[in-house]
Amino acid sequence: MKRPERTIGPMPISLPTRTPVKAGTATHCPYCALQCGMNVTVDVTVGKTVTITPREDIPANAGGLCQKGWTAGELLTSGERLTTPLLYGRPVGWNEALDFVADRIRAVQEEHGPNGVAVFGGGGLTNEKAYQLGKFARMVLKTSQIDYNGRFCMSSAAAATNRAFGMDRGLPFPITDLARADAVLLAGGNVAETMPPFVRHLTAMRGRGGRLIVIDPRVTATARQADLHLQPTPGTDLALALGLLHIVITEGHVDEDYVAARTSGFDAVRTSAAAWWPERVERITGVPVAQMRVAAAILGDADRAAILTGRGAEQHAKGTDTVSAFINLALALGLPGREGSGYGCVTGQGNGQGGREHGQKADQLPGYRRIDDPAARAHVAAVWGIEPEDLPGPGRSAYELLDALGTADGPRALLLFGSNPAVSAPRAGHIAERINSLDLLVVSDLVMSETAALADVVLPTTQWAEESGTMTNLEGRVLLRRQAVAPPSGARSDLEILRGLAVRLRGAEGFSTDPREVFDELRRASAGGIADYAGITYERIVAETGVFWPCPAEDHPGTPRPFLDRFATPDGRARFVSVEHRPPEEDIDHEYPLYLTTGRVLAHYQSGAQTRRIPALNAVVSGPFVELHPDLAERLEVSSGETLRVISRRGETEGVARVNPAIRPDTVFMPFHWPGVNLLTNPALDPVSRMPEFKVCAVRVERAG
């Protein structure tokens, strides 16, 4: 049966009713991967208001919060909360909604096979929900078609760290180590806006005399705090990393003893780096040779240093190689595996780390096990009580999955949890078309997101402070979110939704709705894997304010610094990987003469589905804007405040002009928190990580109208 086409339109509002169950509950922020500690207090005497205050006992924020954290309680009482299931926009009861979904799943799979149904998850789901979602897809639906929006976040860093170190953990050291460093290089990250409490660790480092180097095409709020800002042409970070390595080698900053004792593959990298002399790199990147030499000297002279990458360096069709180039630089300097030094990735989404470790990613099983590894399949199948051959193999990556929706050999139905790809996916207009070609779209969300507005069935779910569960922050520290308020009547947790569908499709066995029970099963499923949670319990998390994985036993202390003695490779050595720079998949030309780069702003988060519903945050930034250099503004004859149209080969959108000398004259910047911006971006994929090239594409800019 063909589903009726739906378009993004007015969003129905339902007013929640709630009863507070706790006051002064210690929990964690719903947004980024710092997972800042906060207290949630409900005042029943003043209209059931929710007050947020920061916690001092969580090292990542240690008493600090950003604007988003301070206002997080407002979404709990928002009038835009969904509180009843919707079937083709009509309010229905839960039984009718779940019966309909189960019947349609059966019909689709009878006609198209198990892979006719796909699952798409989110990097904001708790570990318990991410684990249960992967289990549901593979055990109940028996589909290989599952991935999640974390593929758009740090998959390139994950791929690069896996091939260098044998293990992927955002920061393989506590974030507090940064304060003890003598130098930090941050490539493609604007932490002052994306995760402001992070900056306190960099400020402490600089207060001790340490120096901060920032690589970014824009003079961001983070770059303004740097001792040295390198401002490359978008898409040239890889060339810049190769140039820095060349200088480190030629000026004698290589830690030869470390390289000999703890690494392999350096000779090939040394040879390839010889071709990237500074003058050549300056022509490609626009970064002056003198600045490159200063950066190399700062890192080379530091006793303790860290090299960090963010989305700006990673969201490219060569993102994995770019991260590998920065890891090579770190290894040449002898940083990874030394206390107070190392390489790390500044993870973005709240549970981007744990979300992929336990089964949402197309090629992974719980514990960061590869789904095509026979031993991994046997272990997980035993925990689930099925035969290994009953597990499907690897499926499509996130963009490839979305791109295949509704095609002859692609999924005909999609179950979507905690994501908004109609706004967040590259070439978003095309993805909306693919979604509209489905026979069935089911969205579980707490508000009517742009993707939910396209759904046949919308299932209202609980949110962060209305449920308990664990999150794994950017340090690999497993934390406990506690329920602080009761959910509005009519909303259910994703665990309840999955159980309701499992009951209808195969029986309820193995699908608990109790987060603690699900976590205990996750511990068994992850035991012996790279991301081993076997020794982590809710009680330990509370007592120790978080436990670092791997933690294979309850008497194990956890592993804050996993590489001190050896790396997670078979021989214990870190691997250098030879890489070469290549241009963006889409470079500028006469028709599209400007680079577009995208990113975040302080007041908003991801696709904006949550933050755009908070008045205090909308008052800061209420809509999309186009940041452009004064020279470009003069050529276009525009001033700040005018409306501009930005056009790429894939679509066009509009935004308000912000004239700012902080950006390069050949580049414009737009934040991606609103519909329209990702209509422009290029879905070209990294061949290893399958990361789309969000961070650079060719555009032209015109005055609107």
* Distance in angstroms (rounded) separating the CA atoms of residues 151 and 399: 8
The whole-number pLDDT of residue 3 equals 58
Neighbours of 343 (CB within 10 A): 31
Architecture (CATH level 2) of domain 594-703: Beta Barrel (2.40)
Angle at 148 between CA 429 and CA 621, to 5 degrees: 60
CB under 8 A, 24+ apart: contacts of 581-584: 581/236, 581/238, 581/239, 581/242, 581/276, 581/284, 581/318, 582/238, 582/318, 583/235, 584/234, 584/235, 584/316, 584/317, 584/682, 584/693, 584/696, 584/697
Q: Round to whole Å and give the CA distance between 152 and 161.
A: 16
SS3 583: coil
At 403, which helix (H) or strand (E)? helix 398-404
Give the homologous superfamily in CATH for domain 171-345.
Dimethylsulfoxide Reductase, domain 2 (3.40.228.10)
Helix, strand or coil, per DSSP, at residue 222: coil
Q: Please, are residues 122 and 350 in contact by the beta-carbon 8 Å criterion? A: no
DSSP state of 195: S
DSSP 73: G
Question: Which CA distances in Å does 194 have to 31, 354, 600?
Answer: 10, 19, 6
Say how far apart CA 450 and CA 460 lie, in whole Å. 14
Helices (H), 263-307: 266-273, 278-285, 289-301
- One fold for 171-345 and 594-703: no
3-state SS, 22-71, equals CCCEEEECCCCCCCCEEEEEEECCCCCEEEEEECCCCCCCCCCCCHHHHC
Amino acid found at 529 = G
Secondary-structure percent of the chain, ordered helix, strand, coil, rounded to 5:
35, 20, 45
Residues 6+ apart with CB under 8 A from 46: none
CA distances 216 to 134, 194, 197, 229, Å, are 36, 14, 20, 7
* 488 residue type, one letter: P
The terminus-to-terminus CA distance of the chain in angstroms comes to: 42
Domain ranges of the chain: 86-152+351-548, 171-345, 594-703
What's the pTM?
0.94
486: Cβ–Cβ under 8 A, 6 or more apart, which residues?
A: 18, 19, 20, 21, 466
The closest alpha carbon to 162, from 569, 571, 476, 564, belongs to 569
**Of 206, 417, 183, 188, residue with least CA distance to 294:** 183
Of 675, 157, 145, 690, which is closest to residue 421 (Cα–Cα)? 675
CA 321, CA 235: separation in Å to the nearest integer? 12
DSSP state of 315: S
List Cβ neighbours of 468 (8 Å cut-off, separation of 6 or more). 480, 481, 482, 483, 515, 516
The string over 30-43, giving b where at least 16 C-beta atoms fall within 10 Å of a residue's C-beta and e elsewhere, is bbbbbbbbbebbbe
| Whole-number Cα distances in Å, 366 to 348, 377, 524, 548 | 21, 10, 9, 17
Per-block mean pLDDT, blocks of 10 residues, the chain (705 long): 48 39 80 95 73 94 95 91 97 98 98 98 96 97 96 92 96 97 97 96 97 97 97 98 98 98 98 97 98 98 97 95 98 96 91 89 96 97 97 97 97 97 96 97 97 98 96 97 94 97 88 97 98 98 96 98 97 98 96 97 93 94 96 96 97 97 96 96 97 97 91
CA distance 606 to 178: 26
Sheet holding 477-481, edge to edge: 469-472, 477-481, 547-548
Q: Which amino acid appears at position 555 of this protein?
A: D
Topology (CATH) of 86-152+351-548? Rossmann fold (3.40.50)
Residue 585's closest CA among 428, 691, 676?
A: 691
Q: For residue 491, which of 462, 515, 467, 513 has the smallest C-alpha distance?
A: 462
Query: Got the DSSP string for 127-157?
Result: HHHHHHHHHIIIIII--S-EEEGGGGTSHHH
**Rounded Cα–Cα distance for residues 278 and 275 (Å):** 9
Backbone angles phi, psi at 575, to 5 degrees: -110, 125
Q: What is the pLDDT of residues 7-18, one digit of tens each?
A: 444 333 333 444
- 256-279 burial by CB neighbour count: b if 16+ within 10 A, else e? eebbeebbebbeebbebbeebebe
Sign of the alpha-carbon torsion through 34, 37, 40, 41: negative
509-566 confidence digits (pLDDT tens):
889 999 999 999 999 999 999 999 999 999 999 999 999 999 999 999 999 999 999 9
What secondary structure letter does DSSP report for 407? S
- Reported as type and span, the H/E element at residue 417 is strand 413-417
Structure tokens at 287: 């970064």
Query: Which of 353, 184, 258, 299 minimizes the C-alpha distance to 564?
Result: 258
- HEC string of 665-696 equals CCEEEEECCCCCHHHCCEEEECCCCCCEECCC
